[in-house]
Amino acid sequence: MTAVAQVFPTTFNQLCRWHIEQNIMKNCRKFFDNAGFQDFMKAIKVVSSSMSPAELEKELEVLKTEFPAKAVDYFINQWWI
């Protein structure tokens, strides 16, 4: 990612959703039981497919209120921002 930013400074580097999900699974599964983690992954997909800023804010609030803070913080700080 650093090399892309240096060589192509005006481009947008899009990451593979599958790899992002694998990373989230690796780092966040420990905060859930199995069913709760599946619900978290579904909620992340809803956030990432929001169609408007209002919908995005609503879905992020759902994420923040329904799931463990450590998992939500990891998703937001590592992948969303």
Provide the pLDDT for residue 80.
82
Residue in the block written with tokens 């694998």: 22
Q: For residues 46 and 44, give the distance between their C-alpha atoms in angstroms, rounded to a whole number.
A: 5
Average pLDDT of the chain, as a whole number? 89
Q: For residues 3 and 32, give the distance between their C-alpha atoms in angstroms, rounded to a whole number.
A: 35
What is the reported pTM? 0.78
Q: What is the mean pLDDT of residues 51-58?
A: 94
